[in-house]
Amino acid sequence: MNYFHFPLEKWTNTFVDDFLLPIFGLLFDLLSTYIGSFIGLVINFLTWIPPEIITITIVILAWRIAGKGVAIFSLLGFLYLGSVGLWDLGMQTLAIVLVATLFSIIVGIPVGILSAKYSAVDKAVRPILDFMQTLPSFVYLIPAILLFGLGGVPAVISTFIFATPPCVRLTALGIRQVPTEVIEAAKAFGSTSSQMLFKVQLPLAVPTIMAGINQTIMLALSMAVIASMIGAPGLGNEVLSGISRVNVGQGLVGGLGIVVLAIMLDRITQGINEKTKRGERTT
């Protein structure tokens, strides 16, 4: 099938080396500094708070939001993280996940709103999302290193790329799902389009958007090990070093830590979602 030579590799490298880096290098450096210090701030904050206080806060939160079972699980989970000596690593992973999720939400929800409202945006965004979700994540680790160096920043960026699509998709879905008659009613009473968005469409889409955020958090956690390959701090490192030393125990200990965080975050965010649905009814 080798009818002609397609020098994609060379072109890409030329593009990155001769165009992206010299011209936007400074911008990326700046970006990297800001994001880096933000991540540092969150990590420092989480590791500065005494573990006991975090545990108590989360357990109480889990109890109120998601019930007794999740609260007990959270308590056991935190005890586990502490007892295997992974507390700080766990908090680092949590920080990276939270920062990446925050970026995903900041970008994902507005893009979701736009693609629900304008079919042109939808048409443009859809293939990009497909691309983001299906391209093997290792592939964009390379430019991430090139542009942002090693460490937390490229990890957050590549996690962001991997985890944003469900946030966009489910925001758009939630808004599109609002029944036509309800939209007509809002229009018939003279709503402007921003009144329509903020008073009708977004509130009705909240449960679906929350489901999207939940998915985003889960995907972000699933990137933990891969992100550690480009120097992200956290539990992923433990797994990675377990792999390189063929240390089954170390790998398991780190891996279980990720599972514990994942289940906790999943149940609590799902609980928030249930609460927003039910909470309206009881208050």
Partner 1 sequence: MKNKVEVKQVTKLFGTRKKEAISKLIEGKSKEEILKSTGVTVGVNQASFDVKPGEIFVIMGLSGSGKSTLIRLINRLIEPTSGEILIDGQNIVTMNQKELLNTRRKKLAMVFQKFALFSHRTVLENVAYGLEVQGYDKEERLKRAQESINVVGLGGYENQYPDQLSGGMQQRVGLARALANDSDILLMDEAFSALDPLIRKDMQDELLQLQEKLNKTIIFITHDLDEALKLGDRIAIMKDGEIVQIGTSEQIMKEPADDYVSTFVQDVDRSKVFVAENVMLKPDAIATWKDGPRVAIRKMKEKGISSIFVMGKDQTLKGLLTIDNAVQAVNEDRWVEDYLTTEYPTTAPDTPLTELIQIASESKYPIAVVDQEKLKGIIVRVSILSGLVLGKENVAVEEEKEVNVS
Binding site for partner 1 (CB under 8 A): 179, 181-182, 184-192, 195, 199-200, 203-204, 206, 280-281
Q: State the minimum distance, in angstroms, from the CB of residue 200 to partner 1.
A: 6
Question: Measured from the CB atom, is 89 or 170 closer to partner 1?
Answer: 170
Question: Measured from the CB atom, is 86 or 173 closer to partner 1?
Answer: 173
Query: DSSP string of 52-118?
Result: HHHHHHHHHHHHHHH-HHHHHHHHHHHHHHHHTT-HHHHHHHHHHHHHHHHHHHHHHHHHHHHHHH-
Q: State the minimum distance, in angstroms, from the CB of residue 212 to partner 1.
A: 18
Q: State the minimum distance, in angstroms, from the CB of residue 275 to partner 1.
A: 14
Q: State the minimum distance, in angstroms, from the CB of residue 119 to partner 1.
A: 17
Q: State the minimum distance, in angstroms, from the CB of residue 189 to partner 1.
A: 4
Q: Are 239 and 216 a contacting pair, CB within 8 Å?
A: no
Q: Are 184 and 67 a contacting pair, CB within 8 Å?
A: no
Q: What share of the chain is helix, strand, coil (3-state, %, to 5)?
A: 85, 0, 15
Question: Measured from the CB atom, is 130 or 280 closer to partner 1?
Answer: 280
Question: Measured from the CB atom, is 196 or 256 closer to partner 1?
Answer: 196
Q: Are 202 and 175 a contacting pair, CB within 8 Å?
A: yes
Q: State the minimum distance, in angstroms, from the CB of residue 150 to partner 1.
A: 46
Q: Is the dihedral of CA 152, 157, 159, 160 positive or negative?
A: positive
Residue 131: in which H helix or E strand, if any?
helix 119-134
**What's the half-sphere exposure (Cβ side, CA atoms, 13 Å) at 107?**
16
Find, among 101, 54, 75, the residue nearest to 212 by Cα: 101
Question: Measured from the CB atom, is 31 or 206 closer to partner 1?
Answer: 206
Question: Measured from the CB atom, is 173 or 261 closer to partner 1?
Answer: 173
